[in-house]
Amino acid sequence: MLRQVAEGVLIHQSELLQNNTVVVQGRAGVLLVDPGITGGELAALAGDLRQLGQPVVAGFATHPDWDHVLWHAELGEAPRYGTARCAASIAEVLSDADWKARVAEGLPPEIAEEVPLDLFGLITGLPADTARIPWDGPEVRIIEHRAHAVGHAALFIEERGVLVAGDMLSDVLVPMLDLDGAADPIEDYLAALRLFEAVADGVEVVIPGHGSTGGADELRARIDQDRAYVQALRDNQQVVSDPRLGPSAKPGWEWVGDVHDWQAQRLAGRSLESHP
């Protein structure tokens, strides 16, 4: 079910991982950001858009993780954009003859058989340094950075006061760093948070890739909370105080603690490698 969060901006949230699909209404149709995640949910989303009389005229993937590059035939054949780095990353995945099996291995077992892969990852890379999504609707600014994943981008819909954050600024997930592809994942993440601060005065609603939307005050609180978490990882703090971890974690999201432990271990290993 679509829910309006700002004028001309709606979201659809998946059941399992609380993925937020973002719908931005334009003159001739909608921009669809990160649609997901099961075939049933995608078909229901297409049905909701038909009821609105709003065809999909463009899509956008904030980054190349599996749950952000999905599509469904009922959504039509609109161009699906991403940053040049995002498109190159997912194209590399698709170049492997066994890509479907490899992607399937990484899907949550609860929904593995329900995730449609026929139109997976067909992303058109926008030219490097493209500032805005090319479509007939409100101006959507692309804020590309290097946090979380290669080619990651947030979207700022200034006239609607909406920041679409991709897999950042979540109330259920701690910051997840790009520990495989980034030379300095800590600084990359902190730099991205500074980019969000630069537009914060114009934001009334923040939409994370997973979890709950937030207002202007919560945006700044989430930036501060994510910065504190990343700095704690940087400083190798043994105990990290974060409401998304431990007993205060949202029910069903206790596994985020395992993500934190894994990141802390990986970063500790990096530190040992750089200081033998």
pTM of the entire predicted model: 0.95
Region 51-66 average pLDDT: 97
Cβ atoms of 43 and 12 within 8 Å: the answer is no
Give the model confidence (pLDDT) of 214-251 as tens digits: 999 999 999 999 999 999 999 988 778 999 999 999 99
195: CATH = 3.60.15.10
Cβ atoms of 21 and 36 within 8 Å: the answer is yes
Bridge partners of residue 11, in order along the sequence: 3, 22
If you ran DSSP here, which 8-state letter would residue 86 be given? H
Give the model confidence (pLDDT) of 87-132 as tens digits: 999 999 999 999 999 999 999 999 999 999 999 999 999 999 899 9
Backbone φ and ψ for 56, nearest 5 degrees, come out as -80, 120
- Peptide bond preceding 37 in cis form (omega within 30 of 0): yes
Region 26-46 average pLDDT: 97
Over the Cα atoms of the chain, what is R_g? 18
Percent of the chain with pLDDT over 90: 93
- Based on the structure, what is the number of domains in the chain? 1
Query: Structure tokens of 73?
Result: 């035939």
Give the model confidence (pLDDT) of 60-96 as tens digits: 999 999 999 999 999 999 999 999 999 999 999 999 9
Which structural domain, as residue segments, surrounds residue 232? 3-274
Region 184-205 average pLDDT: 98
